[in-house]
Amino acid sequence: MIWLLGFSGVTMSRPLHRGISGGARSPGNIHDSWEDSQMKDKADKEDVDRKTANADSSYLSIRQHFRLLFPDNSSSKQNLIENGFASDPFSPGTLRNRHKFTLFLLRLSLVVIVILALSGSFWWTLAITTSSRGQIYRGYRRLQQELVSDLVDIGKLSIGSNRLKELDYCLPESENYVPCFNVTENLALGMSKGEEYNRHCRPGSRQSCLVQPPVNYKIPLRWPWGRDLIWVANINITAQEVRSSGSLTKRMMMYDEDQISFRSASPGYDDMEDYAHQIAEMIGLRNESNFIQSGVRTMLDIGCGYGNLGAHLFSNELLTMCIANYEASGSQVQLTLERGLPAMIGSFTSKQLPYPSLSFDMIHCAGCGIDWDQKDGILLIEVDRVLRPGGYFVWTSQLASSQQFLHKKENQKEWNFVHGFAKGLCWDMLSQQVDTVVWKKTTKKSCPARSGSGPPLCSRAHDIETPYYRPLQGCVGGTQSQRWISIEERSKWPAKSRLNAKELAPHGLNSDDLAEDSLKWQSAVQNYWSLLSPLIFSDHPKRPGDEDPSPPFNMVRNVLDMNAHFGGFNMALLESKKSAWVMNVIPTTANNHLPLILDRGLVGVLHDWCEAFPTYPRTYDLVHGKGILSLEFVEKHRCEMIDVFTEIDRILRPEVSTLPFSKLPRSNKL
């Protein structure tokens, strides 16, 4: 395991104050000698008058002005001269005296200017220091907390290394083992109607063993080649499952002896580009490249097939999260992740999804197999909860085709229910083409339709912003949230990642908080990549600081951040142009910043790390775990550290790394 884990002073001198010259006489001596020198002074005065008879008349006027500013004070000690007379500083003397006096004035002016400048600089520095004192203190406290956290983590690991525990390898049939999803056991307990596919993390449901990869496992091709070609040996699927797939996106693939390639062509559509173009037109856009300008950045794709829509939209900077039920074979989630696209196991039957309210700009369901008219429309209420105001629900199904209504009354009944219930939710049906319908969610928290036959609004006590696998609610959620801002009013990507003041206000943060977090993670990513270079670019030598080589040499695509905080690690990867996406996980024991992460245009989920993560084995290239050990095992010790490390081992692809700890060649000791 490898843990990656003043003020300047200004000195100024005071100007010298000139005193009485050494030959000056005391006042008593002057009085005593006054009579003796009277005759001599008279002669001297006549001589001086002769020398100054031709003085410039302009000097006299200047002299008078200066006398007004500096009145003559002949009796003062400061004006005494060597012969005992009171000195007039403005009397015309020799050129030498006038030159000295001019220099004195210049020096005095320079000293005054310097003093004023230094005083202004001092008060400006004091004002800046006072205004930023709070930020300096917060930054110091944050650094101090991070240092303590890192030291605790290192201490915990050093203690654990002395207590090695032998772990066996799991049986070969467990190569696709996913804890908490045991359909056979759930059926034995009497579960039915889709409940058997739900997540049930019972005590002892996790195996204490290391999941082995398939015998013929191959390192996936790097992005973007891995998006369109995957190895059959890496996943659990048969040729029959590929050929019998009925989903729109599932049919867009070709099965070969040792590989599966994905294509756009499918019955009913020339290609996926045409399908995305059709959705854009139904919303009122020119094409799919305008989704970002309309406020659409993140999409939840229910029953995504194998991620073809998300793969196509990724080039337009749209981020699509695929969710689907657990499948022991032919899993949509497993294949989508193998292609390097966001996905996770998520059952849409009886529990709320582990996402905050108002999380996605668009929700898509194409042949997803969900009966929306069941359970009194409660599944549509959950769609409404996670959909942002002004967001879109796209439903592609044969039930939406008018030709089907003439043959089956059951289809007519289901369509009528969905259409009427959507109206009760204040959704506006924008368009219907062929078998695709697009609704737009209202931007108003309350509307007249809800006071009639529509479902009621959730009370403040029941409107939990980020539920964690809570039973589905029969009331409309999200209306109590301060994050109720329509997608049209929100910043557009990529400015969306920084959030404006209005968008940050509900999270209790300001732009300086995000900017400080961003600078920290930009530096961290630079350091991480320098350390990882020998590992992820082993077949293409790269010096730290050099640009990443072009694919297929970049081996990091699927990234999981176990303790995402503000999502700064994800943003630093994007800003440094890494071709990776990040599953931002907020632990249930940490401060819940998941709404902030999703508002920034990223994807993430709430999760308890004492339980298994809802994904298949070997689905992530890099796992980032800064601060997770101190959070889970020091502050709130609820489970064993070895359970978390075996889970990390399960979800990591072979021969790849974790940060700040790294997975080296396989060992059965932890």
Q: Rounded to the nearest 5°, which phi and psi values hold at 63?
A: -60, -40
Q: What does DSSP assign to residue 452?
A: T
How far is the C-alpha of 580 from the C-alpha of 158, rounded, in Å? 32
In the numeric block, the tokens 């075996």 are attached to 646
Quick: pLDDT tens for 610-649: 999 999 999 999 999 998 988 887 767 788 888 899 999 9
Please calculate the CA angle 93-94-95 and round it to the nearest 5 degrees: 120
Residue position matching structure tokens 């004195």: 104
In angstroms, rounded to a whole number, what is the distance separating the alpha carbons of residues 107 and 111? 6
Quick one: which of 620, 608, 531, 514 has its CA closest to 568? 514
- For 480-507, the DSSP string reads T-TT---TTTSPPTTGGGT--HHHHGGG
- Give dist(CA 332, CA 326) in Å, integer: 9
Give dist(CA 141, CA 137) in Å, integer: 6
DSSP 534: H
Q: Which residue has the tokens 């909860």?
A: 385
Q: In degrees rounded to 5, what are phi and psi of residue 56?
A: -65, 130
Strands 428-433 and 436-440: antiparallel
Asked if 608 and 592 touch (Cβ cutoff 8 Å), the reply is no
Q: Write down the pTM of the prediction.
A: 0.74
Alpha-carbon torsion 331, 336, 340, 343, what sign?
Answer: negative
Residue spans of the chain under pLDDT 50: 1-38, 40-42, 48, 51-92, 132, 161-162, 249, 264-269, 538-540, 551-553, 656-658, 661-670
Coil, strand or helix at 65 = helix
Neighbours of 381 (CB within 10 A): 23
**Three-state SS for 298?**
strand
The pLDDT, as a whole number, for residue 141 is: 59
Segment holding 624, helix H or strand E: strand 620-624
**Polymer length of the chain:** 670
Question: How do strand 319-324 and strand 428-433 relate by DSSP bridges?
Answer: unpaired
pLDDT at 554: 56
Reported as a single tens digit per residue, the pLDDT across 352-386 is 999 999 999 999 999 888 989 888 899 999 999 99
pLDDT of residue 329: 86
pLDDT of residue 482: 93
Residue 553: Cβ within 10 Å count: 14
pLDDT tens track for 226-262: 899 999 999 998 877 776 665 554 556 777 888 888 8
Q: What are phi and psi of 454, to 5 degrees?
A: -75, 165
Amino acid 552: pLDDT: 44
pLDDT of residue 206: 74
Query: Residue 319 corresponds to which amino acid?
Result: L
Give the three-class secondary structure for 398.
helix
Q: Which is nearest to 181 in space by CA: 164, 198, 162?
A: 198
Residue 608 phi, psi (nearest 5)? -100, 115
Complete edge-to-edge strand list for the sheet that includes strand 253-255: 229-231, 259-262, 253-255
